[in-house]
Structure formats: C-alpha cells, structure tokens
Amino acid sequence: MANLKEIRTRITSVSSTKKITSAMKMVSAARLRKAHDSVTQIKPFSKKLSELLINLSMALEDKDDNPYAKKREIKKVLLVIIASNRGLCGAFNSNVVKKTIELVKFFRQNLIKKI
C-alpha cells in the first residue's frame, strides 16, 4: 500500500504531465493552423497548374507526329523521390522509402524480363 508521500509525488507528477501535454496540444494546434493556411494559399496555384497540364496534354494528343505522344518500349525508368526534411514526419518518409523500394523492385523485374 502506498504511503502519503508516494501519493503526493504521484499527484505532482501527473499534474506536471498534464501541463506538458496541454502545452504540446497548443503547439500542435498552432502548427496545424499554419499548415492549413499554407494549403489554402496553394490551392489557386494547384488549380491553375492542373488546368495548364490538361490543356497541354489535350494539345499533345491531337498531334500524331509528336515524339512525346508516341507509344514506345520502356527501356529506362526515372524515379523522382520527394521526401520531407522537417517536422515530425517520420512515417511519411518511411512510407515514401518503402514505396520507392517496391517500385524499384517492380521495374527491375519487369524490365529484365523484356530485355
């Protein structure tokens, strides 16, 4: 059975943890608000970029002599990997790396069979 001193120590510990958790919650809310604002500001650019790419792809589809629109055998594959270097995004970076490894294995197996 716990004595009075242990109970007081435990109460103090729990209240300290509560204060720290509250502070962390406030910080994360501020970061979430900042991230939300960033995404909101990027939306017009994203929309315009999508329109531009759609118009460009429609223009390429109409041209039979366009070398970029021709169907060719795949000989080489370039993967451009984008990961984050800031914040608490370990799971994001881990998932990017896992997916990259899967894609590399997939392309190696499929390209080796064709050659």
Residues tagged active-site: 89
What are the DSSP calls for 62-88, one per residue?
A: T-SS-TTTS---------------SSS
Enclosing H/E stretch for 9: helix 4-61
One-letter amino acid for residue 37 of the chain:
D
